[in-house]
Amino acid sequence: MRLLTIPLSHFCEKARWALDLAHAPYEERGHAPVIHRLFLARHRATTAPVLIDGATKLTESTAIVEHADRLGRLGLFPDRPAERKAVDAFVKTFDERLGPDARLWFYSHAMEDDAMFVRLVGAGTRPAERRMLPALVPGIKKLVRAHFSITDRTRDEARERLNDVMDLAASARAGSPYLVNDTFTAADLAFAALSAPLVAPAQYGAELPPEQDLPEELRDEVRHWRATRSGNATLLLYERHRR
């Protein structure tokens, strides 16, 4: 299997985590944002991750999680209809709300430091691609800002929406680290992976700089999210289930 990714991407992390849980043999081919489109075009895709498994081609992170669940018989999607419905609803919410806002929020901070940005988006890519990145960064940043409509205002709005969805998840857990039936499901995997940019867990599947190397404002924000109930749950889920 081949997994085409932006290694830094939390949607790619979601797919990668599920494949790792399934002990699935795959090769990850990582590319920097914007550059990745050149390599996905041949597969008629515009967004990563893309999984190619023989004749099967999957272009959505949730579809890849479902594929990994079947391969590894992981039980990420419960058999009982009510529990499956709850898991599916959480995954949809996190895909549509948590993932996009966490991406906008994180990129808006990461792009303020060129050296940090090069380090982040270059991790896990080919050496030739990493060598080109410093020269390409101004153009990549311009395209990323335009594509995700990143401004100071949209970052503040995203942060408010993130507060809402993180509070929603905390309320749903009612003291448990898990969202459904007190066991690890696709809902927890989606939540932890897509909230990972907020708390920078040590077990993340791509290189993230240590806390002390983050720009001051981003470091303060990460500490804020880690101190929340949902941020703490993300760190715990990574510690327990992302080996």
**Strand-strand pairing, 50-53 and 27-30:** unpaired
Distances (CA, A) of 97 to 102, 146, 160: 9, 19, 12
Judge if pTM exceeds 0.85. yes
Do residues 113 and 213 touch, judged by C-beta distance below 8 A? no
The answer to whether the CB of 27 falls within 8 A of the CB of 124 is no
pLDDT, position 215 = 85
**Closest Cα partner for 233 from 193, 214, 181?**
193
- Rg (C-alpha) for the chain, rounded Å, is 17
- 139 within 8 A of 202, measured Cβ to Cβ: no
Least Cα distance to 120 among 231, 30, 11, 25 occurs for 30
Rounded CA-CA distance 192/230 in Å is 9
- 238 burial (CB, 10 Å; 0-12 / 13-18 / 19+) is buried
Query: Shortest CA distance to 173 belongs to which of 44, 86, 241?
Result: 86
Type of residue numbered 134: P
In sequence order, the β-bridge partners of residue 183 are 180
pLDDT in tens, the chain (243 residues): 999 999 999 999 999 999 999 999 999 999 999 999 999 998 889 899 999 999 999 999 999 999 999 999 999 999 999 999 999 999 999 999 999 999 999 999 999 989 989 999 999 999 999 999 999 999 999 999 999 999 999 999 999 999 999 999 999 998 899 999 999 999 999 999 999 999 999 999 998 888 888 888 899 999 999 999 999 999 999 999 998
